[in-house]
Chain A
Amino acid sequence: MIVPSGSGNLIRNTTYKVVLPFYLYAGIAYLAATVVLLFSTPVFTGHYFHPQIAAITHIMALGWGTMIILGAGHQLVPVLIEGKLFSNTLAYLSFVTAGAGIPLLVYSFYIFNMGWLAQTGAILINAAVLSFLVNIWVSTARSKADSVHAVFVFTATLWLFITTLIGVFLVYNFTRNILPENSLYYLSLHAHIGIVGWFLLLVIGVASRLIPMFLISKYSHPKTLWIIYYLINAGLLAFIIIFFYGFSPALYLMPVAAIAAALVLFARYCYRAYKQRIRKQTDEQVKISLLAVLMMLLPILFLVVVITLLLVATNTRLVLAYGFSVFFGWLTAIVLGMTFKTLPFIVWNKVYHDKAGLGKTPNPKDLFSSRLFTVMGITYLAGFGLFIAGILLANALLLRTAALLLLLTAIFYNKNVIKVLTHKPQPL
């Protein structure tokens, strides 16, 4: 029986004016990160705590990963929670404050002066995250739907807020000694809450909704997603407890095992969605996103080796490879793929919405160059693989060549993003 909706079933999307600046900013940040990377390759043969590496990490984590997630998040939250975004004003506020704060913090790391500039940057970033958190919180609370995906997104945002709050304390601790230990001591805590609590939880929450949707797959298994959710959060909480109580490093294998189990379950979830897909031809953007799911296992592998060796001594090369495989590996791979699954639709809606029914419009996928996307995928995979090899072998030539390939990847990515953003309506 068909039940009439009455009215209000179609809620307007979040306006493109809110979302597009985040995409543009993230693209520029990725380009900036690869430029700095190209001129910083010698430091990747030394210790991981280095001003240039800290600067690159924060461009990648905040300017690239977080900005694009915030942008896409404002667009996708209505899909995930089956409700409307609470406030466009808060969304603008999060863009402006993060947009201003990130360069201040990154520059401070680069010159390693953690004075007022870094402190202002860190506070602005916190203001941005708080704006996003409130926006998601109220949007979710107002939604009638009880969605596991929305819970992932909300919890991830909470962890992001904790990460950036710790970040503020660490920045102040450089100059004022407000914490019992020096800031370097808390680095792994700050980094892992960000990587696991924010990026991993959010990516799984969103991807578990979008991948079956894009594949037109029959597969849906909320129970698996809930198990993944509890495994990740339990793993992260265990990590924090072990960190503060100073237990043996061997115990860190426990949270790693929980996260690894979550990743294996998520990989299985994606595989089942893929096997039960109705749309047999999978496009390149979804392929690279599925590849990113497998790439999630690489940092875990490095982490297991790092912890095992930690019982003897810290291996800086493996720690560097681990960090690189997180930010330039799976996080970048999924962003590269998902950008061209989301951005063309936002722009298509902007350009062709009022032309509905007036003639044949191009498809959203026609708004970017698929050839350039493929070339970008090749330079990316080659650059990423060679850079990891360069770190492990401490080989300058490999690092330089790989950095150049990654810079090319960023150029191709931005070229395609600009192509989408500047798309003019075709005559119908």
Chain B
Amino acid sequence: MNLITNDPEKVATALAALKNVYDPEIGLNVVDLGLIYEIDFFDNRNELFVSMTLTTQFCPMGESIRDNVIQTLKQTFPGYSVEVDVTFYPPWSQENISEEGLKFLNG
């Protein structure tokens, strides 16, 4: 699915940073894995909102991946507070994986 954003310029910086956040089991970053659904910037109140998912609900690594997303975005956008909503509607599917991600998984 296509990423939703209200700021296409800033989102490129966010996605570049999030390419360093990995699902530890799969070894692929959250962007190419297609876990990020939406990133919105609210500059007037220095807030950043992320809607993301996990490959499976109650993923044992879920908390860790979410916290990693928050910390990475806080470092990339100093002074911003980051809110992350983990949703399963729509649920993640293999179709979310990017071309680069598929290349990585195909070895």
Contacts and interface: CB of A to CB of B under 8 A. Distances in A.
Interface of A: 1-5, 9-13, 75, 78-79, 82-83, 213-214, 216, 218, 278-281, 345-346, 348-349, 352-353, 356-358, 360-361, 363-364
A212 to B, nearest CB: 10
Contact of A280 (B65, B68, B89, B106): B106
Contacts of B63: 10, 12-13, 349, 353
Given A10-B86, A348-B24, A2 B38 contact: yes
B66 to A, nearest CB: 6
B85 A279 contact: no
Contact of B51 (A4, A78, A358): A4
B4 A2 contact: yes
A349 B61 contact: yes
A357 B94 contact: no
B87 interface: yes
Contacts of A356: 64-65, 67-68, 70-71
Contact of B26 (A1, A75, A216, A361): A216
A13 B75 contact: no
A357 B51 contact: no
A357 B97 contact: no
19 contacts: A2-B51, A2-B89, A4-B87, A5-B85, A5-B87, A5-B88, A10-B86, A11-B58, A79-B59, A218-B94, A278-B102, A279-B105, A345-B60, A349-B61, A349-B63, A353-B67, A357-B68, A361-B24, A363-B22
A4 B4 CA distance: 14
A353 B90 CA distance: 26
B102 A213 contact: no
Interface string B49-83: 00100011111111111111111101100000000
> Which of A3, A78, A279, A360 neighbours the largest number of chain B CB atoms within 10 Å of its CB?
A279
A364 B66 contact: no
B70 A281 contact: no
Given A79-B58, A349-B60, A349-B61, A357 B75 contact: yes
A317 to B, nearest CB: 43
B105 to A, nearest CB: 5
A12 B68 CA distance: 16
A213 B23 CA distance: 13
B64 A9 contact: no
Contact of B62 (A2, A10, A278): A10
Nearest to B87: A5
A9 B107 contact: no
Nearest to A218: B94
A345 B61 contact: yes
B9 interface: no
B45 to A, nearest CB: 18
B97 to A, nearest CB: 7
Contacts of B87: 2-5, 9
Given A2-B90, A9-B87, A349-B61, A213 B51 contact: no
B97 A278 contact: yes
B43 interface: no
Contacts of A363: 22, 24, 27
Interface in B23-37: 24-27, 37
Interface string B87-106: 11110001001000010011
Nearest to A13: B60
A348 B24 CA distance: 9
Given A9-B57, A218-B94, A281-B107, A357 B24 contact: no
A82 B58 CA distance: 6
Contacts of A75: 60
Given A5-B88, A9-B57, A278-B102, A364 B24 contact: yes
Contacts of A82: 57-58
Contact of B25 (A4, A79, A361, A364): A364
A192 to B, nearest CB: 33
B24 A216 contact: no
A78 B59 CA distance: 9
Contacts of A5: 85-89
A14 to B, nearest CB: 9
Contacts of B38: 2
A-B pairs, 3 with minimum CB distance = A357-B71, A3-B89, A356-B67
A281 B4 CA distance: 32
Contacts of A281: 105, 107
A345 B58 contact: no
A213 B56 CA distance: 8
